[in-house]
């Protein structure tokens, strides 16, 4: 009987690890695939920006690039913690749950900062530019949502 519960616990732990790794990998892929190039392309290639807007946007992008690196590093750290917790646990232990919670907090922080970055960029645009920007950003989100 103990062997059966152990198998269930190991399966649950591996499922949690796979879920965390899948979430991190898909978010990293989406960030690289859509967010940075798309936002950059939308803003710099599709909008007729003034020199002043370009200057403001470059500063915004530089600030976010340094912050994003730290946020992504925190997600990677949380993912390693989850892997380590699962490796030493025989099931869904408090250590595994704490690592899952840390991963969710780190991922949520990255997502919130990314949204704040999008709105900060938008604040530099004219009303007409913001309409184009909004359509493109919403379209990209809907396309990824399936």
Which CATH number is 114's domain given? 1.20.120.1490
The pLDDT of 5-12, averaged and rounded, is: 65
Distance CA 118, CA 53 (A): 15
Residue environment code for 110-143, b if the CB has 16+ CB neighbours within 10 A, otherwise e: beeebeebbeebeebbeeebeebbeebbeebeee
- Given a cut of 60, whether residue 32 has pLDDT beyond it is no
| Mean pLDDT of all residues in 30-58 | 76
Using an 8 Å Cβ cutoff, are 14 and 86 in contact?
yes
Query: What band does 28 get if pLDDT is binned at 50, 70 and 90?
Result: low
Give me the mean pLDDT over the 91-114 stretch: 93
**Contact (Cβ atoms closer than 8 angstroms) between residue 90 and residue 9:** yes
| Average pLDDT of the residues of the chain | 82
C-alpha pair distances (Å), 107 with each of 20, 35, 69, 124, 135:
10, 15, 13, 27, 25
CA dist 110 and 74 (Å) reads 9
What's the token pair of residue 124?
Answer: 């530099």
Phi-psi map region of 92: left, alpha, beta (phi>0 left; psi -120 to 50 alpha)? beta
Q: What is the pLDDT of residue 14?
A: 58
Structural domain of residue 84, as residue ranges?
Answer: 2-145
Indicate the pTM of the whole model: 0.66
Number of structural domains found in the chain: 1
């Amino acid at each position: 009987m103990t062997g059966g519960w152990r198998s269930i616990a190991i399966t649950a732990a591996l499922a949690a690890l796979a879920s965390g790794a899948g979430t991190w990998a898909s978010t990293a892929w989406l960030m690289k695939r859509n967010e940075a190039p798309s936002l950059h392309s939308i803003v710099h290639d599709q909008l007729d920006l003034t020199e002043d807007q370009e200057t403001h946007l470059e500063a915004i992008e530089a600030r976010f690039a340094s912050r994003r690196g730290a946020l992504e590093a925190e997600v990677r750290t949380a993912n390693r913690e989850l892997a380590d917790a699962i490796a030493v646990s025989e099931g869904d232990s408090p250590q595994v749950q704490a690592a899952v919670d840390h991963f969710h907090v780190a991922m949520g922080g990255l997502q919130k900062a990314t949204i704040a970055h999008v709105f900060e960029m938008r604040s530099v645009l004219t009303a007409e530019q913001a309409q184009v920007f909004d359509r493109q950003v919403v379209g990209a989100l809907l396309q990824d949502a399936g």
